């Protein structure tokens, strides 16, 4: 179980009411609220009485789902200097823009636009260019919510409450 206030992994959580929000928290955090009756740690967001908490948890789950699309905790984004990476790798191979274009089924003018960053490669082009040139155009980007807090602990409702207050 994960404490929804501090994010600590604990064998069991306690259900307490903190400033009107019902949370599953660790023993440490339980003292910040008053214990409420009910089964421990089996609530689903949909069953929450407090719509604000339910919404927050739903948003958190959405964020987690978005992160899952990219596989691992960190998402990948197109590198800012993708144009430079393409140009350098192409020139290192002695290829003209048309040569690279032919290998990835794009016109030389498209390659020129990519290298000058007048155009952003499509999701379909990125892996082709990476494969042909043997480079990476994407780099891992930590999700914003995690970046705000130094550790790698999962985002908890406590974090969300703090973020909303900032």
- Both tokens of 51, joined, read 């719509």
Position 79 contacts Zn ion (CB under 5 A):
no
| Cβ at position 88, least distance to Zn ion in Å | 49
Tell me how long the chain is: 166
Name every residue whose Cβ is closer than 8 Å to that of residue 27 and which is 6 or more positions away in sequence. 10, 14
Q: Which of 2, 5, 22, 111 binds Zn ion (CB under 5 A)?
A: 5
- Total residues contacting Zn ion by CB under 5 A comes to 8
Between CA 65 and CA 103 the distance in angstroms is 35
- When asked if residue 1 is in the footprint of Zn ion (CB under 5 A), the reply is no
Spatial CB neighbours of 146, under 8 Å, sequence gap ≥ 6: 73, 152, 155
Please report whether residue 6 would count as binding Zn ion according to CB under 5 A: yes
Question: Which tokens is 166 given?
Answer: 């900032």
Using CB under 5 A as the binding rule, whether residue 153 contacts Zn ion is answered as: no
> Which residue, 18 or 29, has its beta carbon nearer to Zn ion?
29
Q: Note the helical H segments in the chain.
A: 27-30, 51-69, 82-92, 97-103, 108-115, 125-133, 144-148, 157-165
Nearer of residues 12 and 131 to Zn ion, judged by Cβ: 12
Among 18, 22, 23, 29, binds Zn ion (CB under 5 A): 29
CB of 13 to Zn ion, least distance (A): 8
Q: Distance (Å, rounded) from C-alpha 31 to C-alpha 8? A: 15
Residue 30 in contact with Zn ion, rule: CB under 5 A: no
Q: Which is nearer to Zn ion, 8 or 113 (CB)?
A: 8
**Binding positions for Zn ion, rule: CB under 5 A:** 3, 5-6, 8, 25-26, 28-29
């Amino acid at each position: 179980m994960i404490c929804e206030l501090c994010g600590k992994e604990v064998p069991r959580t306690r259900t307490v009411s903190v400033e009107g929000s019902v949370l599953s928290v660790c023993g440490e955090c339980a003292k910040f609220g008053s214990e409420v009756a009910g089964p421990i740690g089996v609530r689903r967001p949909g069953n929450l009485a407090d719509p604000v908490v339910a919404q927050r948890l739903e948003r958190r789950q959405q964020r987690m789902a978005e992160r899952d699309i990219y596989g691992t905790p960190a998402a990948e984004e197109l590198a800012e200097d993708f144009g430079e990476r393409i140009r350098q790798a192409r020139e290192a191979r002695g290829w003209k823009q048309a040569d690279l274009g032919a290998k990835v089924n794009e016109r030389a003018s498209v390659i020129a636009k990519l290298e000058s960053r007048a155009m952003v490669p499509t999701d379909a082009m990125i892996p082709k260019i990476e494969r042909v040139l043997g480079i990476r155009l994407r780099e891992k980007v930590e999700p914003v919510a995690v970046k705000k807090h130094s550790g790698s602990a999962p985002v908890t409702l406590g974090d969300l409450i703090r973020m909303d207050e900032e």
